[in-house]
């Protein structure tokens, strides 16, 4: 798997980072619910329990198909996480009887629709770094200032690819070429998604290597208008476009290869086509090359040498990538 690289110029930082219920806390920032409708939204706090495990528990308890349970995003297992799921309103009374030592239903809301992937504004993280000496703390603070200014490289984290990364990528290649057939549609889509994500990560490494202090815009880039949530391409990088990029109004995007996807042109396409595969039959996407992190707080305990970072990321981006960015090294490859 290709090594993810970042804008940082400092040497790799040494500190401990663990994903567990005390040091990795995540809370979904939900969309606005209609407060009426045929679906019941459950705000759930869970400890050391993955989203799929939660869905299994809920569907088995209610004796319903897993597809009737909606969710906005997948959350890490080794963590304390708060997330929202939906069930049909007709199970409102039954769900009140649900009890599990790892799950707490905090609140419920009515909504007009079943929750789907992406139905959230972002995620708030509280992550505790350990064995952080004072000199390292200063470097972390400086690094975060730089990330706030330039944006964070929006790589897919190692979680996207599964445990056997190289094996999964190879299976995806065989699927695309027609040399492998898998009956499990969910597994098939997961493998293809990992394959698409690997192309994006490789493209992002190449683009960051063009200019180490800031993302370099290129003629023909496809941009995401962050306010209008629309994509557009520019044949020439103008001063206005550069200014809007600096203001975080627009963001360049990278390709997840597939069908029916907006592709770059001109010089940008010359790079992008090296990380494309027209034989991928799943739908393609564009992904923001950078994300802009909101830092709520940084707390340092000198006695224990622990640094707690409270921050918000847009949906679809990875807290582990943010920590990698700070450390300027890959945790898993």
The pTM of this model reads: 0.90
> Does the pLDDT of residue 134 top 80, yes or no?
yes
Average confidence (pLDDT) over 167-175: 88
The pair of structure tokens assigned to 164 is: 């056997």
The whole-number pLDDT of residue 1 equals: 65
Burial 49-69 (b: 16+ CB within 10 A, else e): bbbeebbebbbeebebeeebb
Average confidence (pLDDT) over 120-130: 96
Residue 284: C-alpha distances to residues 34, 155, 165, 255, 260 (Å): 31, 17, 21, 8, 6
Q: How would residue 319 be classed by pLDDT, with cut points 50, 70 and 90?
A: very high
C-alpha distance across the termini of the chain, in Å:
6
Average pLDDT, the chain: 93
What's the rounded Cα separation, in Å, for the pair 269 and 220?
7
Question: Domain coordinates of the chain in residue numbers?
Answer: 9-25+129-147+294-316+323-333, 32-118, 152-291
Report the number of secondary-structure helices (H) and strands (E) in the chain. Answer: 8, 15
- pLDDT 10s digits, 150-159: 899 999 988 8
- pLDDT 10s digits, 277-305: 999 999 999 999 999 999 999 999 999 99
Average confidence (pLDDT) over 6-14: 82
**Do 44 and 106 form a contact (C-beta atoms < 8 A)?**
yes
Q: Measured at the alpha carbon of residue 307, what is the angle toward residues 303 and 310, in degrees to the nearest 5? A: 140
CATH topology for 152-291 is Pseudouridine synthase (3.30.2340)
The pair of structure tokens assigned to 300 is: 């340092």
The whole-number pLDDT of residue 190 equals: 87
Q: Look up tokens 């998604």; give the residue.
A: 193
Residues forming the active site: 76
Beta bridge partners of 16: 130
> Does the pLDDT of residue 45 top 90, yes or no?
yes
What's the rounded Cα separation, in Å, for the pair 272 and 202?
10
Write down the architecture of domain 32-118 according to CATH.
Answer: 2-Layer Sandwich (3.30)
What's the rounded Cα separation, in Å, for the pair 160 and 157?
6
């Amino acid at each position: 798997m290709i090594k993810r690289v970042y804008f940082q110029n400092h040497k790799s930082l040494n500190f401990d980072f663990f994903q567990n219920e005390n040091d990795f806390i995540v809370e979904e920032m939900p969309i606005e619910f209609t407060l009426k409708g045929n679906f019941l939204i459950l705000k759930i706090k869970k400890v050391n329990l993955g989203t799929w495990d939660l869905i299994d528990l809920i569907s088995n308890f209610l004796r319903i198909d897993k597809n009737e349970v909606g969710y906005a995003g997948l959350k890490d297992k080794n963590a304390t996480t708060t997330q929202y799921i939906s069930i049909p309103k007709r199970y409102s009374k039954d769900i009140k009887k649900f009890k599990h030592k790892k799950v707490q239903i905090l609140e419920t809301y009515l909504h007009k629709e079943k929750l789907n992937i992406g139905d959230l504004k972002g995620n708030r993280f509280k992550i505790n770094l350990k064995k952080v000496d004072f000199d390292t703390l200063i470097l972390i603070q400086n690094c975060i200032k730089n990330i706030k200014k330039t944006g964070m490289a929006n790589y897919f984290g190692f979680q996207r690819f599964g445990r056997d990364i190289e094996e999964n990528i190879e299976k995806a290649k065989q699927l695309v070429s027609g040399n492998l057939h898998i009956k499990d549609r969910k597994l098939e889509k997961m493998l293809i998604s990992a394959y698409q994500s690997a192309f994006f990560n490789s493209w992002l490494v190449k683009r960051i290597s063009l200019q180490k202090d800031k993302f370099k815009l290129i003629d023909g880039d496809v941009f995401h208008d962050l306010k209008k949530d629309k994509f557009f391409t520019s044949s020439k990088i103008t001063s206005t476009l550069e200014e809007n990029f600096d203001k975080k109004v627009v963001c360049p995007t990278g390709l997840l290869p597939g069908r029916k996807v907006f592709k770059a042109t001109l010089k940008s396409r010359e790079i992008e086509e090296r990380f494309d595969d027209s034989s991928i039959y799943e739908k393609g996407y564009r992904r923001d090359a950078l994300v802009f992190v909101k830092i709520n707080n940084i707390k340092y305990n000198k006695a224990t040498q622990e640094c707690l970072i409270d921050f918000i990321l847009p949906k679809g981006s990875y807290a582990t990538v943010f920590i990698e960015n700070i450390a300027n090294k890959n945790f898993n490859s």
